[in-house]
Structure 1
Amino acid sequence: MRFVLATARKDLLRIRRDWPALLLWIGLPLMVGALLTLMFGGEDAGPHGTLLVVDEDGSLAGRFLTGAFQQGALAEIVDVEPVDLEEGGERIEAGDASGLLVIPEGFGQAVLDGEPATLELVTNPAQTIVPGILEETLDITLEGAEVLRQLFDQPLDQIVADSETEGFPADTVVASISTAFNQAAEDASAWLFPPPITLETVTTGDEESFDFARAFFPGMLILALLFMAAGLAADVWSERRQGTLRRAVSAPRGAGAILAGKWLAGAAALGIVAAVGLAAGRWLFGIEVALPVLAWAWMVLTGTALLALFTLVQLFARSEKTGNVLANALTLPLAMLGGSFFPFEAMPEWMVPIGQATPNGYALMRLRSILEGAVDPAVLAMSAVVAVGVVLFLGWLAGRRLRGFATP
C-alpha cells in the first residue's frame, strides 16, 4: 500500500508541474457552463425580439394592428418600437431588430372602404423564431380585420358615407348605425357565443419547460472527464521516455501496484475537476444539483474507469503518435454518441440506445438521475459494481501489458 501511495504522490507532483493542462481541465466545465448560460440563459429563457413600426397613417386601424403585438404572452416576446422610415431601414439592415412593419398612409381609410391595402413587413434573416411569430400574428390580425369588415359591412359603409357630409350626423343616423351594429352582432352571436370550437387543456402531470442548459450540463461534465482521462493516460509515454516506468516495473511490487498508484492520482485530479464543475453549475450558472456528494463520487468513479480504458489504448499502441491518434479517434465518437455534444432527447430514436450503451453514455444516464434526485439506489449500486469491475478487469489487462510496454 505504501508503494501505491508513493506512486500516486509521484504522479500528483507530475500533474501539478503540468499546470497549463491542469488549468485547462479545471476550466473546461467553467467555459462550457458559461457558454450554456449565454446560449440558453436557464429555464426562463425564451424567444424575444423587437418590431420596428413605421406608422405613416396614424389611424385607429393602424393602432389596432400594432396593438395586436402587445397583447397577452406576445407582449413578453415582442417589443414594439415606433420609428421613422429612415431609422427603421438602417436598424433592420444592421440586424438590430426582428422585423420592420410599414403602415402606409391611407391604410385606415382603405379598411373602412373595404378596399385592398398593402402592408410591408421586413424580417431579419438572421433570426428564425421571432420573425415567424411576427408574420403569423400579422396574418391572423389582418384576417380578423377582414372578418370584422364583412360582419359590420352595413354600419361601416354608412359611417363612411356620413363622414363626407359637413357637421355632426343627425340623431336618427347615429341611432340607425347603432342598430345596425347591434343587429350584426346578434346575427353573429350564434357562431361566436359559445364558440363553435372549444379548447380544453388537460394536464397529465407536473410539466416543466425544457431547460437546455440543464439538459446539456451533465453531458458537459462527462465530456470534461472524457478529455481529462485521455490526457492523463498519455502520461505513460512520458514516463517511458524518461526511463522511470522501466525502473518501476522492475521493482518487486509488480505492475498492478504501479497502475493502482497512477490511477489513484488520476482519480484525485478528476475529483478536483468534478468538484469545480458541480460547484460552477450550482453557484455560477444556477443549475440545481440534488445530490452533490453522490454526483461527485459517481463522476470520480466513472472518470477512473475512462482513465483505465484510455491507459489500455495507450499501452497497446505501437508509438506515442499512434496512441494519440487512437485516443482522439475514440474520444470524438464517444462524445458525439454518448450525449455530450447532443442530448439524447435531440438524437434520432435509433441512435439513443447506441449512445446510452457507450461507457460515457451509461455514466451520463446515471449522473443525470443523481443530479435530478431521481436515482434508484439498487440501479446505482449495480452501476457502481459494474464500474469497479470494469476498472479491475482493465487493470488486469493493462498490468499484463505494462511490463512489455516499459521495456521495449
Structure 2
Amino acid sequence: MRFVFITVWKELKRRFNDPGGLLQAMLIPFAVGALIVTAVGGGGSSITAELMVTDLDDSFLSQGILSALGQGQLAEMITLEEVTLEDGEQRINKGESSAHLVIPAGFADAWLDRAPFTLPLTVNPSRSITPQLIRETLEALLDVGDYLHKVFGTEIELISQALQDGDTDFPVEDMSAGISGKMTGIAGLVFPPAVTVADATPQPEGTNFSAPLLMLPGILLMAAFFAANGQSSNFWAEREKGTLSRWVASPNAFFAYWVAQWFTAMLLTALVAAPIMLVGFFYVGISFEKYFTTLAWLTLTGPILFALLTLIQVMSPSRKTGSMIATLVMFPLLMIGGSFFPTEAMPDFIGALANYTPNGRVLEPMKGYFSGAHGASGLFADLWGILLVAVVLLFVAGHLSARRTLQ
C-alpha cells in the first residue's frame, strides 16, 4: 500500500505542476454552465415577447385586439407598444423587438363582412421563441373571431349593415334576444364541462425542477470528464520515460500502479467538482445537506470516465492520436449525456441514449437526488454496476498496456 500512496502523491504533484490544466477543467465547465443558464433565463423566469403594434384602423375591433393582448396571462407573456409605421419598421430592422404587427385600415369592416384581410407581421429573425409565441397568440385570436362569426353570424351581419347604412336605429332588442338565446344554448353545452381533465401524474414531495437545477449535474460531469481526459495521457508519459516497462516486469508494482491511478482519478474528480458544486448549490438553492453526499457520489463514480479514456489512449498508436480520439469521443458523450443541454430538452431518442453512456448513468441519479425524486439510497442504487464497468474497462486497459510495453 505504501507504493500506492507514493504513486498517488506523485500523480497529484504532476497534476499540480500543470495548474493550467486543472483550472481549465474547472473554468470551462463553469463558463459553459453560466452561459447556458444565462441564455435560458437563470432563475427560471417566464419568457416575455416584445410586440410593436401600428393601428392604422383605429376601430373598436382593432382596439379590442390590443385590449385582449394587454390583459391577464397574455400581458405577462407579451409586452405591447404602439408605434408609428415608420418607427416600427426601423426598430424591427434593427432587431429591437420580437415582432411588429400592422393592423391595416379597413380591418374591422373586412372582418364584419367576412372579407379577406391580411395582418402584416414582421418578426425578428435573430429570435426564435418569442416570434413564434406572438404568431400563435394572434392565430388563436383570429380563430376566436372565426368562431364568433359562426355562432353570432346573423347579429354581426345586422351590425355590419347598420354601420354601412349609417343607421343607428336598428332592432337592438331583437339582436339582444338572439344573442341571449344563443348564449343560453351554448351554456347548456359547455357549463358544466362534459369532460374534466385532471393531472394524475405522481409528483414526489419536495420535487422541484428548474433550468439551472437540470444543468448542474451535467456541468459537474463535464468537469470530471476534463479531469479524466488530462489524467488518461499518463500512460504515454510513463511509457516514454521507460518507467512503465519496469512496473510491468514487477507484477505487484504494475497492479499497484493501476490501483494508484484509480485513487488519483477519484481525488481529481473531487478536486475539480467541489468548487463548481459549491457555487451551483448556492445559486440553485439546493440544500447543503446534500453537498457531501453528492461529492461522494462523484468521487466514487469518477474513475469510470478515466477508465474509458485510458482504454482509448492505450489502444491508440501514438500519444497525439490517442488525445485526438479521446477528445472526439468525449464531446459527443458530453452532448448526449446531458452536459450541454438537459436530456429533458432533447429529442426522445437522444434522451434514451443518455442512459447508455457512462456520464449519463452517473448524471441521472444525481438529477433525481437534487430534485427530491429520491434520497441518498436512490442516488447510490447503481453504484456497484458503475464500479463494475469501470473495473472491467481499467483491467482491459492495464492488460493491453502490459502487452504493448513488452512488445
- Relative to the length of structure 1, the TM-score reads 0.82
> For residue 305 of structure 1, what is the aligned residue in structure 2?
304
Instruction: Report Cα offsets for 1:259-286 as digits up to 9, x if no partner.
Output: 2223323321210222123223222355
CA distance in 2, matches of 1:111, 1:337: 50
2:128 is the alignment partner of 1:132? no
Q: How does 1:35-50 map to 2 (within 5 A)?
A: 35-42=35-42, 44-50=44-50
Query: Which has the higher mean CA deviation after the structures are superposed, 21-30 or 203-212?
Result: 203-212
Q: CA deviation at 1:233?
A: 0.6
C-alpha contact 2:303 2:390 (8 A) present in aligned 1: yes
SS of equivalent to 1:193: helix
Match of 2:275?
276
In 2: Cα distance, 1:189 partner to 1:142 partner: 16
In the TM superposition, what are the counterparts of 1:64-83 in structure 2 within 5 Å?
A: 64-83=64-83
1:86 aligns with 2:80: no
Is residue 366–residue 379 contact of structure 2 (8 Å, CA) maintained in 1?
no
Residues 96-245 of structure 1: pairs in structure 2 closer than 5 A: 96-108=96-108, 118-126=118-126, 127-128=128-129, 129-140=132-143, 142-143=145-146, 146=149, 150-154=154-158, 157-158=161-162, 161=165, 173=169, 177-196=171-190, 198=193, 200-205=196-201, 211-245=210-244
RMSD: 3.5
Kindly indicate whether the alpha-carbon contact (under 8 Å) linking 2:238 and 2:244 is maintained by their aligned counterparts in 1: yes
Q: Distance in 2 between matches of 1:400 and 1:116?
A: 77
CA contact (8 A) 2:62 2:103 kept: yes
2:14 equivalent in structure 1:
14
**Seq. identity, %:** 30
Residues in 2 aligned to 1:109 and 1:351: alpha-carbon distance in whole angstroms? 51
Q: Would you say the 8 A contact 2:213–2:284 is kept in 1?
A: no
Q: CA shift at 1:107, angstroms?
A: 4.1
Deviations 1:217-250 (A, max 9, x none): 3233223322321221112212333445456666
Any gaps of 5 or more consecutive residues in structure 1? 164-168
SS in 1 for 2:217: helix
> 1:386: which partner in 2?
385
Query: Matched residues in 2 for 1:161 and 1:330: separation?
Result: 76
> What's the CA shift for 1:15?
0.7
Q: Give me the TM-score of the superposition, normalised by structure 2.
A: 0.82
Partner of 2:57: 57
Number of residue pairs matched by the alignment: 398
Query: Within 5 Å, which residues of 2 pair with 1:254-293?
Result: 254-286=253-285, 291-293=290-292
Give the structure with higher Rg (CA).
Answer: 1
8 A Cα contact 1:281 1:288, kept in partner: no
For the Cα contact (< 8 Å) 1:42–1:214, is it kept in 2? no
Once the two structures are superposed, what CA deviation does each residue of 1:102-149 show, in whole Å capped at 9, x if it has no partner? 233444566677776554333334435224224314423543664657
Q: Distance in 2 between matches of 1:158 and 1:253?
A: 102
Question: In structure 2, what is the Cα distance between the partners aligned to 1:153 and 1:11?
Answer: 86
Task: Confirm or deny: 8 A CA contact 2:109 2:160 kept in the other structure.
Answer: no
